[in-house]
Structure 1
Amino acid sequence: MHAPRRVFALAILTALAGVFTGLAGAPAAANPTAHTNHPQKLPPPPKRSETHVYLMRGLFGVFSLGMDDLAGKLNAKGYRSDVYAWDTWPQVTALVTQRYSDGHRGPVVIIGHSLGANSVFSVADTLHKQNIPVRVGVTFDATQPGQVPSNVAVFINFWARDGFGHPVQPAPDYTGDLEDYDLSTQPGIDHTNIDALDRFHQFIIGKLDGMTAPD
C-alpha cells in the first residue's frame, strides 16, 4: 500500500515539460536477476484496439465538443473511442459491465467535461462496486466532483477556478496516481474551452500511448 501521488501544477506547460523530460531522461532500470539464465518476462502491454475510451459530453449533450475532437484523435491512433451525453452514464456503465462479463480485459478509460466530468465519477463508482477496474479517468472542470474510487489506477483532473471547476480528492483507500492540474492562473482557459485545447488532448494521448502498444 502506498499513499496516492498528488501533482499540483500551477502552469500546465511546465508540468507537461517536466513529465516528458522525466520520461526522456529516465535511466534504464537495473536487472535484479542478471545472474540467472531465466529472467521473468513481463506480460506485453495491451493493444490500443483493446482499449475502450468512453467520452462524456456536458450539458444537453451538445456542448463539450472537445470530447468529439479528442475521440477522433484517439480513433485515428487505433483506440476504440465513443462519445456519450452526460446523462447516459448508466448506459455507459452497463456497456462496460457487459463487455467485462463477456471476457474483455482491455483498459477502460473514462473522460468527461463539465456535467460529463461528474458522470466520470458516477461510472467509476458503480464499476467499483462491481470490482471492475478503470485504467484511466480524466475530468475537465467537473462541477460536482466526487472522490476518486480505488478501482481507478490513474486519475487526471484539469480544472480552473472560474466558478465551475474544482480540485478532486481521493477516497480514503485510494492508492493510485492522482494528478490535479489547477489552470486558474492560465490566460485564455475557461470552462467553455478547457476540454478542447490540443495540448491537453496530446497529454492524454501520450499517457495512453505509454500504457498500450500499437496493433
Structure 2
Amino acid sequence: MLVRMLKFGVLLIAGAALVAPLAASAQGAAGSRPVTTASAAMPPMTAPAAGAEAAAAKPAPRLVARATKRAPVVQRDPQVYLFRGLANVFSLGMDDMSKELKAQGIPNKVLNHANWPSVAADITAKYKANPKATRPIVLVGHSLGANAVLLMGQQLARNGVPVDLVVTFDPTTKGPVAPGVRRYLNLYQSNNGWAEALDVPPGAGKRVVNSDVRKRTDIKAAVSHFDIDKNRVLHQQVVAEIVRLAGGKAKPQAKSGTM
C-alpha cells in the first residue's frame, strides 16, 4: 500500500513538471495574438500621398481676362464725285473743292456733267461687290452739273444703291428728289434768274435743305450763278459735311475762293 502511494506521488510530481512548460507556452502564444478590440480593428492612418501634397501646395490658378474679339475694321472706299457745268469750263470751283477735299484725306474725282451715267454704273458695280466698303457716296455739282447729280441720285436709288449726300450749287431744275438719297443740300441764289429751290416731297422733312445764299448772313459778298460754286464759306460747309460722313474731323482750310 505504501509502495502504491509513493508511485502515485511520483507520477503527480512528474505530470506537474510536464504541464508547467505547456501552460507557459500557451500563455506566450496568447500574448502574441492581435488585440481584437474595436480600436485595434481599425486600419492604421497612412500619410498623404506625395501627389496630393503637391496638389495642395500649388497656388490657385490666376484668372486671366481674355481680350474681347473686335470686329474687323472695314477699309472704306469713299465715292465722291464733283461735276462741272456747261462746256466743262464754267464750274472751276469744283476743282478748288476737289483740292480741299484731298487736303482733308478724301479721294474724289471731278468730271463733266455728261459723264454721270457711266459714273453711276461704276458706283453701282462697286457697291454690289462690297456694300460696306463703298461708302459714303457723295455727289456734288454746279449748274448743269447740279442737274446731273439729281438725275444720278435717282438712278442710283433705282439700282438699290443708297446715296449719303447730294449737294447742288444753283441747279436749274427742281428735281428729281429721290427717296433713296439720305440728304440733299441745295445751295442756291433765289434772285439770279437761273437757280431753283428743290421740291420737298411730303414727309421728306429735314432730308431736303434749300439754303438761299441771298438770305444768309455769313455770305458777305454778292454771288452770281457763275461764281457761287467758288464761294469759300460754302466750300467749308460742304467739305465739313463730307469729312464727317467719311468718319473724320475737318482740318482748318486754307483761304481760297471768294467770300
TM-score range, shorter chain: 0.7 to 0.9
Q: Which of 48, 54, 74 does residue 101 from structure 2 map onto? A: 74
Cα deviation digits, residues 48-80 of structure 1 (max 9, x gap) = x63221101000112200001001110111112
Give the Å deviation of 1:173.
6.1
Give the Å deviation of 1:150.
1.0
In structure 2, the gaps of 5 or more residues are: 1-70, 250-259
CA shift in 2, pair 1:173/1:95, >3 Å? farther
Identity of aligned residues (%): 32
Range with greater deviation from structure 2 (172-181 or 52-61):
172-181
What is the 5 A alignment of 1:179-190?
Answer: 179-184=209-214, 187-190=221-224
What is the 5 A alignment of 1:32-51?
Answer: 50-51=77-78
Q: Which of 208, 217, 231 does residue 178 from structure 1 map onto? A: 208
**Root-mean-square deviation over aligned CA pairs:** 2.4
Secondary structure in 2 matching 1:184: helix
Give the Å deviation of 1:172.
4.3
Separation in 2 of the partners of 1:146 and 1:213? 29
Separation in 1 of the partners of 2:112 and 2:230? 16
Between Structure 1 and Structure 2, the one with more strand by share is 1
Structure ID, larger Rg: 2
Q: Which amino acid aligns with 2:211?
A: Y
In structure 1, the gaps of 5 or more residues are: 1-42
Structure 1-normalised TM-score? 0.72
Q: How many residues align?
A: 172
Q: Which residue number corresponds to residue 193 of structure 2?
A: 163
Give the Å deviation of 1:175.
6.0
What is the 5 A alignment of 1:1-215?
Answer: 50-103=77-130, 104-160=133-189, 161-172=191-202, 174=204, 177-184=207-214, 187-214=221-248
Give the Å deviation of 1:176.
5.8
Return structure 1 stretches of 4+ with deviation > 6 angstroms. 43-47
CA shift in 2, pair 1:45/1:64, >3 Å? farther
Separation in 1 of the partners of 2:84 and 2:127? 23
CA shift in 2, pair 1:149/1:171, >3 Å? farther
Is the contact made by 2:153 and 2:163 (CA closer than 8 Å) also made in structure 1?
yes
